[in-house]
Structure 1
Amino acid sequence: MTTATSYARFGAREAHGVSPAYERLALAVSQDDELLALLAALPPAKRQPNLLFAVVRLLGGPVEDPAAFHDYAAANWPAIEAEMRTRSTQTNEPGRCAVLLPVLATLPQPLALLEVGASAGLCLYPDRYAYRYGEQVLGAGEPVLDCTATGVSLPAQRPEVVWRAGLDLNPLDVTDQADVAWLDALIWPEHTHRRTRLRAAAEVAAADPPLLVRGDLVDDLPALAAQAPAGATLVVFHTSVLYQVPAPRRDAFAALVRGLPGHWVANEGPEVLRYDGLPEPPSGAHLNVLALDGKPLAWTRGHGQGITWFG
């Protein structure tokens, strides 16, 4: 897929109906020969829309108007390129816990959670957040994670978590203002509710920090998994992470995680982890597939705002 096509697709499938600003920007960049030429000098994995837009937001540039964005990016490209080469999209969206919860609550309790691609580890606290599925509310306190649930049996209580750990090539620290600023920059412009949610979740994590390990999802996973306490069900999980991993490495990870004790919960795009016999998706929006131990169970929205069960 060309860079132009990937930006057009991002605008039409991921940003459409979710972020008007990013929809406009993505479609404009897909037709902007000057910016496409600048992006072409970056490694393919560093050309993605989310990364470019977040870096410009981090640097204080405009993301609402495509013409202003073009002028800023062209004038400040050396600084933008330097940030894009060193950073990665580490969107740490605690709202995704709302689509993981129906699976986590059915597993033998208590749980030892190990997140691959954990960023700052905000998805390691499904037992600490409150949830609102339409009229049904589960738990109390902040943040409250809103999710539209279709065809799914909702849990009566939150899971019990006795150990939480994350593995990431570049773990982020919620007590570090610079790291939190990057997490904030990754949130799309109109999503003030997600910024509020991020800060509330960061307070939860900072009060009881998880074990975050800098490492590779294949080379370093077995040693970290071995640290999970006996008597707890190990759950290795990841959400919207593997698209950043080259396909051969992705295959090696899948083979490795299938051999670990416990369970594997994946929440990734259907083009990233492929499954046979998937039903038609409920909409044309960008959706992930929630799966348990390699068995697909549901379609989910990218920020945890909806789940449609078919398993």
Structure 2
Amino acid sequence: MTTAQTYAEFAAREARGVSHAYERLSSAVSGDDEMLALLDNLPPAKRQPNLLFGVVRFLGGPVEDPAAFHDYTVANWPLIEVQMRARATQTNEAGRCAVLLPVLSMLPQPLALLEVGASAGLCLYPDRYAYRYGDRKIGEGEPVLDCEATGLIPPTTLPEVVWRAGLDLNPLDVTDPADVAWLEALIWPEHAHRRARLRAAAAVAAADPPSLLRGDLVDDLPALAAQAPVDATLVVFHTSVLYQVPAPRRAAFTELAGRLPGHWVSNEAPEVLPYDDLPDPPDHAHHNVLGLDGRPLAWTRAHGQAVRWFG
């Protein structure tokens, strides 16, 4: 897929109906030869829309008007390029816990959670957040994670988590204002509710900071998994991570995750982690597939706002 096609698809499938600003920007970039030439000098994994838009926001640039965005980006490209090469889209969306909760609640308790691609580790606290599925609320406190659930009866209890750890090539520190600022820059412009949710989740994590290891998802996973208490159910999980991993390494990880003790919970795009005989997605928007031990269970939206169960 060309860079132009990547931006056009992002506008049509991910941003449409979710972020008017990013839909306009990505559509404009898809037809902007000057911008595309700059992006094509980057490695393919560094050309993605969310990374470009997040870096420009992080640097204080404009993202509401495509013309102003073009002028700012071209004028400041050396600085933007440095940031894009150094950073990754480590979107740490606590809302994704709402689509993980139905699976985590059905597993033998207590749980030992190990998140691959953990970023700052906000998804390691599914037992500390509150949830609202329609008119059903679970848990107390903040943040409250809203999720539209179809095809399943939402859980009635929170999981019991006795151990939590994360693995990431570049862990972010939830107590570091600069790292939290990068996480905020990755939230789409109109999503004030997600910024408030991030701050509330960051406060939860900062009160009991997670154990995060800088390491590789294949080389360093077995040793970290071995640290989990033997009297808890190990759950290795990841959400929207594997698209950043080269295909051979991705295959090595899925083989490893499938043979570790405990369970493997995945939430990835179907083209990234394919399954046989998936039902049709609910619509043409971008959806992930929630899976348990290599078996698909549900379609989910990227920020945890909806889950449609079919498993």
Q: Aligned residue for 2:251?
A: 251
Q: Aligned residue for 2:19?
A: 19
Deviation at 1:231, TM superposition (A): 0.3
Structure 1 residue 218 corresponds to structure 2 residue 218: yes
Q: Report the Cα distance in structure 2 between the residues aligned to 1:78 and 1:200, rounded to whole angstroms.
A: 34
Q: Aligned residue for 2:105?
A: 105
Deviation at 1:156, TM superposition (A): 1.1
Helix, strand or coil at the partner of 1:105:
helix
How big is each residue's C-alpha offset from its partner over 1:192-231, in whole Å with a ceiling of 9 and x where there is no partner?
0000000000000000111100000000000000000110
Q: Report the Cα distance in structure 2 between the residues aligned to 1:23 and 1:106, rounded to whole angstroms.
A: 37
Structure 1 residue 191 corresponds to structure 2 residue 196: no
Q: Aligned residue for 1:31?
A: 31
Structure 1 residue 63 corresponds to structure 2 residue 63: yes
CA RMSD of aligned residues (A): 0.4
Q: Aligned residue for 1:177?
A: 177
Q: Aligned residue for 1:147?
A: 147
Q: Report matched runs for 1:17-166 at 5 Å.
A: 17-166=17-166
Deviation at 1:38, TM superposition (A): 0.4
Q: Report the Cα distance in structure 2 between the residues aligned to 1:25 and 1:152, rounded to whole angstroms.
A: 36
Q: Report the Cα distance in structure 2 between the residues aligned to 1:102 and 1:258, rounded to whole angstroms.
A: 20
TM-score, with length taken from structure 1:
1.00
The letter for the 2-side match of 1:231 is D
How big is each residue's C-alpha offset from its partner over 1:221-251, in whole Å with a ceiling of 9 and x where there is no partner?
0000000011000000000000000111000
Q: Aligned residue for 2:229?
A: 229
Give aligned pairs, total: 311
Helix, strand or coil at the partner of 1:5:
helix
Q: Report the Cα distance in structure 2 between the residues aligned to 1:223 and 1:209, rounded to whole angstroms.
A: 21
How big is each residue's C-alpha offset from its partner over 1:53-104, in whole Å with a ceiling of 9 and x where there is no partner?
0000000000000000000001000000000000000000000000000000
Q: Report the Cα distance in structure 1 between the residues aligned to 2:152 and 2:169, rounded to whole angstroms.
A: 34
Q: Report the Cα distance in structure 2 between the residues aligned to 1:125 and 1:114, rounded to whole angstroms.
A: 11
How big is each residue's C-alpha offset from its partner over 1:137-187, in whole Å with a ceiling of 9 and x where there is no partner?
000100000000001121110000000000000000010000000000000
Deviation at 1:283, TM superposition (A): 1.1
Q: Report the Cα distance in structure 2 between the residues aligned to 1:151 and 1:62, rounded to whole angstroms.
A: 41
Q: What are the ranges of 5 or more consecutive residues in structure 1 without an aligned counterpart?
A: none
The letter for the 2-side match of 1:175 is T
Q: Report the Cα distance in structure 2 between the residues aligned to 1:211 and 1:69, rounded to whole angstroms.
A: 38
The letter for the 1-side match of 2:204 is V
Q: Aligned residue for 1:9?
A: 9
TM-score, with length taken from structure 2:
1.00
Q: What are the ranges of 5 or more consecutive residues in structure 2 without an aligned counterpart?
A: none
Q: Report the Cα distance in structure 2 between the residues aligned to 1:170 and 1:143, rounded to whole angstroms.
A: 25
The letter for the 1-side match of 2:33 is D
Q: Report the Cα distance in structure 2 between the residues aligned to 1:100 and 1:43, rounded to whole angstroms.
A: 32
Query: Identity of aligned pairs, percent?
Result: 79
Structure 1 residue 296 corresponds to structure 2 residue 304: no
